[in-house]
Structure 1
């Protein structure tokens, strides 16, 4: 299953989109909230039920011990977002000052995520936050650059408005170049369109010279619930946002599969120790909270 990173040129609904995709997936799924500016799901969608004792920041110390320690910490810091435990969250940072401690953790965390996707069959969605560039490259502290480099798909979330298109247009080429030089290839880059504003998918593709891989409707009631929590709106499970998000996940899987075939990527080297640790996520809910 693919590892998909979502980010934006400016606030465009990355977190709400990532939540919708994760919750709507037909397969076991994980949302990793890796925005260095800090996570919002803990205080928003989860209404403060997850304390600062859980989450991304705690993986930094484990990574300094070993990759297996990191995998164990990763498994123990996930939060179940449904009763069956099929939708999991790695809560984000509670303080942006914590981001610097993760600079050497990102590459190992990327490996853990890919093992979870490849060996345990999870859809993995990364909320990478707002795109930050320094001298034309991804900022080493303000972005989780290694996660973006190694993702199967990198999706810029964009709205169909003049403002969003104008902001996104300036980051497309630097990001495409970065993925060509340091990532899995420029063709990993695509767009996730939020259908707010006058521009449709084909028009956005023409303006930004980048394919729209999926589109999500502007469903304000559901998006507000995913952003702020509280009581779900009436008909939430059948809402336009979740229905289209389910289709989008299938489209992402197909796009990642096409890339793999076209690029003829060699299989990633197996890591039996990591696979053993993460396989327990599918066998048991031990260590999970929800």
Structure 2
């Protein structure tokens, strides 16, 4: 299964889109909230049911002990988003000043997530927030660069508006260069279109010279629930956003598979130190979700 990093030039609904994809996936799924500017799901969708004792920040100390400690801490800090535990969240930072402490944690965390995707069959979505560049490169603190560089797919989330496309144009080329020179390759980059605005998928792809790999409809009622939590709207499970998110998750898996075949990527070597995280997570993932 792919590891997909969602990024944006500026507020384009990355977190809502990532939540929709995770909740709608037909397989076991994980959303890692890795925006250095801070996470919003804890206080929004989860209505503060998750304390600051859980989450991304705690992984930095574990990584300094070793890979096995990081893997076990990772498993311990996941929060179930459904009763069966098939959809999980790694809650984000509660304080943006904590981001600097994670700079050396990102590469090892990326490895854990790739093992989870490849060996445990999870769809892994990473909310990396707004892109920040410094001297033409991804910023070392304001963007979790290794997570973006090593992802199987990198989705630049855009709306079908002139403003969103204008902002996206400024980050497309430096992001493509970053992936080409320091990442998994420029062909890992695609667009996730939020269908808010007059421009359709083919027009967005042409304007940004980048393929639209998936699209999600403009569904304010469901989006408001994913943003703020509370009582789900009537017909939530059959809402346009979740129905299209299921399709989008399948499209992303297919795109990743095609890319893997075309590039003839070698199989990632197994890391026995990550056995702990696999054992603890596959117990609930076996069989995958049905709804």
Asked whether the 8 Å contact 2:74–2:277 carries over to 1, the reply is no
Alignment of 1:117-266 (within 5 A): 117-266=117-266
- Report the 3-state secondary structure (helix = DSSP H, G, I; strand = E; otherwise coil) of the residue aligned with 1:64: helix
Aligned-CA RMSD value: 0.9
Matched, 1:88 2:88: yes
1:202, distance to aligned residue in structure 2 (A): 0.1
TM-score, structure 1 as length reference: 0.97
Q: Distance in 2 between matches of 1:244 and 1:129?
A: 22
1:276, distance to aligned residue in structure 2 (A): 4.1
1:281, distance to aligned residue in structure 2 (A): 1.0
Q: Distance in 2 between matches of 1:273 and 1:202?
A: 45
- Report the 3-state secondary structure (helix = DSSP H, G, I; strand = E; otherwise coil) of the residue aligned with 2:89: strand
Question: Which residue in the other structure is 1:30 paired with?
Answer: 30
Question: Which residue in the other structure is 1:55 paired with?
Answer: 55
- Report the 3-state secondary structure (helix = DSSP H, G, I; strand = E; otherwise coil) of the residue aligned with 2:44: coil
Asked whether the 8 Å contact 1:116–1:275 carries over to 2, the reply is no
Q: Distance in 2 between matches of 1:261 and 1:284?
A: 29
Asked whether the 8 Å contact 2:6–2:18 carries over to 1, the reply is yes
Q: Residue 239 and residue 174 in structure 1: after superposition, are their counterparts in 2 closer, same or farther (change >3 A)?
A: same
1:284, distance to aligned residue in structure 2 (A): 5.3
Residues 35-74 of structure 1: CA deviation (Å, up to 9, x unaligned) = 0000000000000000000000000000000100000000
Question: Which residue in the other structure is 2:275 paired with?
Answer: 275
Q: Distance in 1 between matches of 2:78 and 2:259?
A: 29
Asked whether the 8 Å contact 1:193–1:215 carries over to 2, the reply is yes
Asked whether the 8 Å contact 2:151–2:184 carries over to 1, the reply is yes
Asked whether the 8 Å contact 1:115–1:275 carries over to 2, the reply is no
- Report the 3-state secondary structure (helix = DSSP H, G, I; strand = E; otherwise coil) of the residue aligned with 1:100: helix
Asked whether the 8 Å contact 2:59–2:70 carries over to 1, the reply is yes
TM-score, structure 2 as length reference: 0.97
Question: Which residue in the other structure is 1:113 paired with?
Answer: 113
Question: Which residue in the other structure is 1:288 paired with?
Answer: none
Q: Distance in 1 between matches of 2:250 and 2:277?
A: 27
Q: Distance in 1 between matches of 2:278 and 2:147?
A: 18
Asked whether the 8 Å contact 1:119–1:275 carries over to 2, the reply is no
- Any runs of at least 4 consecutive aligned residues in structure 1 with deviations exceeding 4 A, and if so which? none
Give 5+ residue unaligned stretches, structure 2: 286-291
Q: Distance in 2 between matches of 1:227 and 1:88?
A: 17
1:275, distance to aligned residue in structure 2 (A): 3.3
Aligned residues: 285
- Report the 3-state secondary structure (helix = DSSP H, G, I; strand = E; otherwise coil) of the residue aligned with 2:65: coil
Q: Distance in 2 between matches of 1:93 and 1:138?
A: 19
Asked whether the 8 Å contact 2:86–2:284 carries over to 1, the reply is no
Q: Distance in 1 between matches of 2:112 and 2:277?
A: 10
